């Protein structure tokens, strides 16, 4: 197979998108797309070759019958370490490619693992589904509400497994917390507080310059607006609206999704209000340093406090994630507090677990956890074979991701209280907010209205 050149990409991408949108019948489809689940052998492609991609490559390649045929990145030689590690554990070494559609066009590839920056997640997922591939896509699954809805439509239309990197949904501690709450042992839930109070430093703008050698900057930007190369955007895309939803999308989303799961996956909230700003360092970053959000679920309220300046708060350390120790809850940066009429539950992500306390700090019940990648990655592979829905299916993952999108929209339209029609997934009191439901994609990187 001849790799797609940048020139050929620019000439044909519009035609390719139209062809894919019309259906994958024009492609030579892999066995999974023909309704035949992969049996013992599962062939994957890795799209994006950063740190999280390395974790997925190591974890999934260790599973029986799984191999990576491709490692894809738009920056030349990025992922060399991943390729060397895969070559040691596979019968054949993976191939290095720069255009993900080379893997999508390969009949031998059954699924893709997408670990790019967030602004590429939705388009890459839609393309993969249209090409008949199953998808594991990292969090946050999309950068807007409209994109998330299109990911669901593509998954359902083409019968694809789409697992999102919300690994807490595969943790036994998450299931036991859900069952505990459902049994009424906390009483009636009246309030939920989600924390995401992290360390940070002042953001400083960097000057534009020429891209480093071997980086296809146009391909890195993909659907995002065309701008000159900037090392700040490239290496730290978190503070820019075009590429990510900030700290909410990077970290708080794990707590928000875990909370939704243990509460029984409630539907969209009725309204949202986000207050925030660059309070700590007075920087000029687009995404604010601090955000305080209130969600109205009708019969209970949920708040989320997220920021990057509280160095005395700490994420759960290794001995909590992988061991038997419990954290000091008051200074745990990523804890959740679920208030019932009978008791309070402290809930921790990424293997921490949960404890239920009453007056005086007496512990009534608890369930210790373990970092859940050990269950989440195999769940994706198992579902590719069985065709069952994965633990973090794009449907529920999208509704969790919408909490980030709604909060950021409230902030961006002047820190307004927005009312939300969950059925239509539109705001009922702000045309300005509705204008942010869908990004303005560049013409060569557009998701079609009909996927």
pLDDT in tens, 232-280: 999 999 999 999 999 999 999 999 999 999 999 999 999 999 999 999 9
**pLDDT per residue over 138-150, tens digit each?**
999 999 999 999 9
pLDDT tens-digit map of 67-119: 999 999 999 989 999 999 999 999 999 999 999 999 999 999 999 999 999 99
Q: Are 352 and 372 in contact (CB under 8 A)?
A: no
Rg of the chain over Cα atoms, rounded to whole angstroms, equals 22
How far apart are alpha carbons 143 and 146 in whole angstroms?
9
> Which residues sit opposite 271 in a β-bridge?
296, 419
Is pLDDT at 412 greater than 80 in this prediction?
A: yes
Domains of the chain as residue ranges with CATH:
6-168+375-393+439-445 (3.40.50.720), 171-207+210-371 (3.30.360.10)
The first and second tokens of residue 411, run together, are 């902030």
The counts of H helices and E strands in the chain are: 15, 16
* Mean pLDDT over the full length of the chain: 92
3-state secondary structure 161-178: CEEECCHHHHCHHHHHHH
pLDDT, residue 39, reads 57
State how far the Cα of 163 lies from the Cα of 279, in Å rounded to an integer. 36
> Edge to edge, what strands does the sheet with 95-97 contain?
95-97, 66-72, 42-47, 111-114, 134-137, 162-164
Residues 83, 86: Cα–Cα separation, whole Å: 5
Using a cut of 0.85, tell me whether the model's pTM lies above it. Answer: yes
Tens-place pLDDT, residues 14-72: 433 333 333 333 333 445 444 444 458 999 999 999 999 999 999 999 999 999 999 99
């Amino acid at each position: 197979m001849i790799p797609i050149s940048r020139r050929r990409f620019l000439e044909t991408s519009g035609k390719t998108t139209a062809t894919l949108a019309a259906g994958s019948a024009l492609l030579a489809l892999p066995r999974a797309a023909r309704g035949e689940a992969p049996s013992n052998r599962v062939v994957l492609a890795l799209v994006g070759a950063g740190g999280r991609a390395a974790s997925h490559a190591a974890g999934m390649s260790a599973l029986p019958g799984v191999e990576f045929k491709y490692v894809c990145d738009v920056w030349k030689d990025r992922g060399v370490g991943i390729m060397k590690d895969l070559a040691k554990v596979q019968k054949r070494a993976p191939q290095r490619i720069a255009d993900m559609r080379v893997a999508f066009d390969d009949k031998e590839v059954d699924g893709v693992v997408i670990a790019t920056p967030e602004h590429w997640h939705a388009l890459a997922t839609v393309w993969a589904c249209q090409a008949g591939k199953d998808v594991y896509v990292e969090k946050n699954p999309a950068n807007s509400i409209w994109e998330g809805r299109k990911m669901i439509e593509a998954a359902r239309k083409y019968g694809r497994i789409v697992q999102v990197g919300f690994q807490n949904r595969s943790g036994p501690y998450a299931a036991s917390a859900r069952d505990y709450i459902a049994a009424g042992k906390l009483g009636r839930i009246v309030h939920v507080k989600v924390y995401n109070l992290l360390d940070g430093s002042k953001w400083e703008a960097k000057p534009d310059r020429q891209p480093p050698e071997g980086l296809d900057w146009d391909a890195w930007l993909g659907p995002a607006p065309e701008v000159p190369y900037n090392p700040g955007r490239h290496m730290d895309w978190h503070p820019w609206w075009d590429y990510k939803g900030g700290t909410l999308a990077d970290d708080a989303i794990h707590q928000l999704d875990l909370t939704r799961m243990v509460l029984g996956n409630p539907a969209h909230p009725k309204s949202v209000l986000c207050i925030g700003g660059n309070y700590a360092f007075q920087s000029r970053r687009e995404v604010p340093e601090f955000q305080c959000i209130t969600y109205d679920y009708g019969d209970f309220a949920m708040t989320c406090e997220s920021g990057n300046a509280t160095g005395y708060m700490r994420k759960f350390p290794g001995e909590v994630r992988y061991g038997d120790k419990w954290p000091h809850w008051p200074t745990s940066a990523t804890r959740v507090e679920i208030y019932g009429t009978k008791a309070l539950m402290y809930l921790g992500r990424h293997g921490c677990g949960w404890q239920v306390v009453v007056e005086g700090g007496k512990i009534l019940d608890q369930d210790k956890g373990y970092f859940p990648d050990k269950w989440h990655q195999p769940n994706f592979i198992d579902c590719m074979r069985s065709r069952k829905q994965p633990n973090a299916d794009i449907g529920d993952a999208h509704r969790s991701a919408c909490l980030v999108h709604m909060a950021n929209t409230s902030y961006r339209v002047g820190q307004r209280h927005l009312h939300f029609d969950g059925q239509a997934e539109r705001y009922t009191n702000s045309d300005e907010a509705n204008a942010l439901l869908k990004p303005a994609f560049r013409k060569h990187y557009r998701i079609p209205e009909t996927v």
